[in-house]
Chain A
């Protein structure tokens, strides 16, 4: 069964460093998302991506964040200068064209900023 895969599963980084979280969406999906979940809190929407551009973003998604689809398969989230409060679980999701439709989630990347 097709699935969304995320790498790495856990990343530890020093405050101020740049991190790139990687996702491989399901191959025929056209909408891509990043969500964040700080420990013990709700799952928060960060950004959606369609047709090679950001279609929607939340207030959390400030200038420190960027997304990219560098090739036909990967979808990345970059945090330029990490802060302690960026420590969270980051989930990538994708879905097919056609609204509405189910979003499939990756297993998440646990980011720890120290």
Chain B
């Protein structure tokens, strides 16, 4: 069974600084996707970034980038130039084969002015 582990329940960062959220996963699948979702106080689930396992290049979306280490089964999210609006819960998630999307427990990020 696939598992996703986020070892940082809470993190904080100063506005304009950079922060990295950690995520590790376990799977026997060779082809899969990894995602980071943002959940603001509204509790809507917003896709931040995704990574296809067969792509070696790390995904980037504006201020958001990932460090995907397939051999280590690690998938961290880096947020550059943090903004107050980045304050939210961040969930790492995995989908492989026909299995449903599996989420980590989340990291609560607070951006401090």
User: Does A associate with B in a complex?
Assistant: yes
A31-51 toward B: CB 8 Å interface, digit per residue (1/0)?
A: 001010100011111001000
Asked, given contacts A100-B33, A103-B95, whether A45 binds B100 with beta carbons under 8 Å apart, the answer is yes
On whether the beta carbons of A107 and B91 are closer than 8 Å, the reply is: no
On whether the beta carbons of B101 and A107 are closer than 8 Å, the reply is: no
Q: Which A residue sits closest to B94, measured CB to CB? A: A100
A75-112 toward B: CB 8 Å interface, digit per residue (1/0)?
A: 00000000000000101010000011111110110100
Main SS class of interface, A? strand
Is there a chain B Cβ closer than 8 Å to A66's Cβ? no
Q: Which B residue sits closest to A103, measured CB to CB? A: B101
**Contact residues, B81-105 vs A (CB, 8 A):** 91, 93, 95-105
Interface size on A, residues (CB 8 A): 24
On whether the beta carbons of A91 and B35 are closer than 8 Å, the reply is: no
Q: A44 CA to B105 CA in the complex, in Å?
A: 9
> Which residue of A42, A55, A99 is within 8 Å of B104 (Cβ)?
A42
Is there a chain A Cβ closer than 8 Å to B64's Cβ? no
Q: A78 CA to B91 CA in the complex, in Å?
A: 26
A-to-B contact residues, CB < 8 Å: 33, 35, 37, 41-45, 48, 55-56, 89, 91, 93, 99-105, 107-108, 110
Would you mind naming 14 contact pairs between A and B with Cβ atoms under 8 Å apart? A41-B105, A43-B106, A45-B100, A48-B100, A89-B43, A99-B31, A99-B96, A101-B33, A102-B35, A103-B101, A105-B44, A107-B44, A108-B44, A108-B45
Q: Which 6 A/B pairs are nearest by Cβ-Cβ distance?
A: A43-B103, A105-B45, A42-B105, A100-B95, A45-B100, A107-B44
